[in-house]
Chain A
Amino acid sequence: MSAMLTILRAGPLTSVQDAGRFGMLRHGIGASGPMDGGAFALAGALAGGGCGSVEFTMAGLEIGVASGRCRVGFAGGDFVVKHNGVVLDWPGTAMLRAGDTLAVTPGTWGNYGYLRFDADIDLPPVMGSMATSSRAQLGGLDGRVLRAGDAVALRGGGESATLATLPSAEPASGPIRVIWGLHADLFPQALRQRFLAAEFVISSRLDRMGVRLEDAAGVFAEPVALSLVSDAIVPGDIQILGDGTPIVLMRDHQPTGGYPRIATVISADLDRFAQLRHGTPVAFEPVTVEHAHALLRSR
């Protein structure tokens, strides 16, 4: 199937994402990819697995079908979706035809949602991927976010939809699990204990690069004065900026950095963390690597 979509309305951080641009860290380029990988996969299963997605935020999204037809799958957080003005179940799927519109507005929880299709988004891969890097400004549509008026072509690809049971409930609350980080031993034991005991709050400064935390308890009020050699960063790393601000580095993280990193959010909890809205309290709990793997494999 093929279709031509038009972006009618887009929030400022709407972007094309695929699974990610892996293997390019040695060239100074992070993988990017979906902020909520589980929701990205679910939207793909609902649509029929065409390559690429449109990732949108709480600012919402509206698309129109200029020509052709396609199946769309949508998932991620909680959003309200209307197909030609009619509310559909979220997450879910719909068949879109020329002249149709699909409008998404925020629901009760979550920051990121995904539209995927039964055909491939027709954009040239850059270094093997169409994922948009907001940091390196490459991939996606000319390395930039999507905005109203953009045309997105779909063609080829896709398989039949593989409808699974829909996990529509809000993910479990509870602490975000971490593995002690690269520089954990540079933080005094008492400070590490305060880090685990404290309640942080998701700040309003969050994007694909990182999520800054409010540290009302002042855990990092007296930052460790360190001159560190720049070293590898992975998604989920929690680094402490020079002014004491903790920031959780996300999918568009810089590939290396020199601020101290106390811990790394485990893979099984990174999607859930990405969906926490501004103002949400968050606490951290350390686990072993083995436990992190067991959690990932038991999802």
Chain B
Amino acid sequence: MTGSSDPETFPTPTIMPLGDSGLLVRFGSALTDAANRAAIVLAVALERDPIAGVVEIVPNLVSVLLRYDPWASAPAAIAGELRLRLFALGDTPVPGASWTIPTRFDGPDLDEVAAMLGMAAPDFVAAHNAKPLRVLATGFAPGFVYCGLHGEGLVVPRRTDVRPAVPPGSVLFAAGQTAVTATEMPTGWYVIGHTDFRNFDPAGAPPTRLRPGDMVAFEAAP
């Protein structure tokens, strides 16, 4: 997605209302690499070339939410402008910063996850860290990032029960993704490690550091 000169083809999106103050552009109903990349690229394109009447652009895992003022704007006009942007989507270059997140792989679920995948824990950690992951989206809680996607050999379902509270900096694993918490929160994902990296600072501008499309290398820390 970065540095390529060939415009890429993205999944055909659906434009649908989300209430009476939002339009959602969805590139699919399942999390795929192509749908996620399309959502990231569209959000960047809309930031560069804003649509009049749109007050907030929010990239999600496979969609982009466009909020508008229902007192002032008509969604039909916004949707028309959107379609023009979508035609040229493949030409949009996406900047992606590179990050290293030192992680202590000491989570309470590490051994269970490794066993589910038929590996010894150190082999799982090595496989997990083998290549950088893309920041797929921020969501659910302040600074909470989804990173992925892992290959088929590194996919486990979510846990059946929810841990009531895990601390900021928890490194979570499920559904072919690695997530990092930035606040204390409940989770149904496996806790595989912890990091001192903090992706949320309410006094910061912007308040989060990682952006969708950034590349994250997880690195085993002592």
Contact = CB atoms under 8 A, between A and B. Distances in A.
B70 A231 contact: no
Given A27-B138, A136-B141, A256-B60, A264 B19 contact: yes
Interface stretch (A77-85, A100-108, A289-297): A289-297
A255 B139 contact: yes
A141 interface: no
A187 interface: no
A234 B18 CA distance: 7
B141 A28 contact: yes
A289 B206 contact: no
Nearest to B58: A25
Given A26-B57, A232-B60, A292 B70 contact: yes
Nearest to A265: B19
A58 interface: no
Contact of A126 (B57, B71, B202): B202
B173 interface: no
Interface in A223-253: 228-232, 234-237
A297 B208 contact: no
A169 to B, nearest CB: 24
Contact of B61 (A136, A231, A265, A293): A231
A218 interface: no
Main secondary structure of the interface of B (DSSP, over half): loop
Interface string B21-40: 11010101111000000000
Contacts of B57: 26
B19 A234 contact: yes
Give the size category of B's interface with A: 35 or more
A185 to B, nearest CB: 10
A251 to B, nearest CB: 13
A234 B62 contact: no
Nearest to A264: B19
Contacts, number: 123
A83 to B, nearest CB: 35
Contacts of B20: 179, 264, 266-268, 289, 292-293, 296
A265 B182 CA distance: 31
A28 B71 contact: no
A266 B19 contact: yes
Interface string B204-219: 0011100000000000
A25 B142 CA distance: 9
Contacts of A234: 18-19, 21-22, 65, 67
A254 B140 contact: yes
A27 B71 contact: no
A296 B140 contact: no
Interface of A: 22-29, 126-127, 135-138, 179, 181-182, 228-232, 234-237, 254-257, 264-268, 289, 292-293, 296-297
Interface of B: 16-22, 24, 26, 28-31, 43, 55-63, 65, 67, 70-71, 74-75, 137-144, 146, 182-183, 200, 202-203, 206-208
27 contacts: A25-B58, A25-B67, A27-B206, A29-B142, A182-B16, A229-B30, A229-B31, A229-B61, A231-B24, A231-B61, A232-B24, A232-B60, A234-B22, A237-B18, A254-B140, A254-B141, A256-B61, A256-B137, A256-B139, A257-B140, A267-B20, A267-B21, A267-B70, A268-B20, A289-B75, A292-B20, A292-B70
